[in-house]
Amino acid sequence: MSDQMCSKAEDYLYQFGDYLRSVGMARNTIESYGRDVKQFLKFLEDEGVDIQDVDEEVLLRSLRKLTERELTNTTKRRMMEGVKTFFWSMKRTGQVRENPFADFDDMPKVKDKNIRVLTEMAH
């Protein structure tokens, strides 16, 4: 990352980590989300996109990049959830004008293997 971007990215990541700690997120979640957001910020730098200009098209390009890496939908979804939480916190603190995830419907679909349907007999 360029020095200027590196400094901005570090500030964003530090503030995001503070936010996650303030809402009681687990250490592993904070670390995972931090890594995911750092990768996303690197993607933005590589694409020449300012954080203020992230829109649904940029999110889709990011998702395609993750798909090119042959990641599972579960991994891609977790990574995008971290970025989604990042933008939610950035919008909440006034650091971005818009949350590009506000109307984003293209999150990777994941079948939840842990869902159990209770039948009448299970009650």
- Produce one character per residue of 13-45: b if its CB has 16 or more CB atoms within 10 Å, e if not: beebbebbeeeebeeeebebbbebbbbbbebbb
- If pLDDT is split at 50, 70 and 90, which confidence band does 117 have? very low
Domain that holds residue 87: 3-122
> Is a pLDDT exceeding 90 seen at residue 16?
yes
**CATH number of the domain within which 39 lies:** 1.10.150.130
pTM, rounded to two decimals: 0.81
d(CA 71, CA 75): 6
Residue that has been written with the tokens 């980590």 in this structure: 17
d(CA 42, CA 103): 23
**For residue range 36-93, what is the model confidence (pLDDT) as tens digits?**
999 999 999 999 999 999 999 999 999 999 999 999 989 999 999 999 999 999 999 8
Number of domains, the chain: 1
pLDDT, average across residues 97-107: 87
pLDDT of residue 3: 53
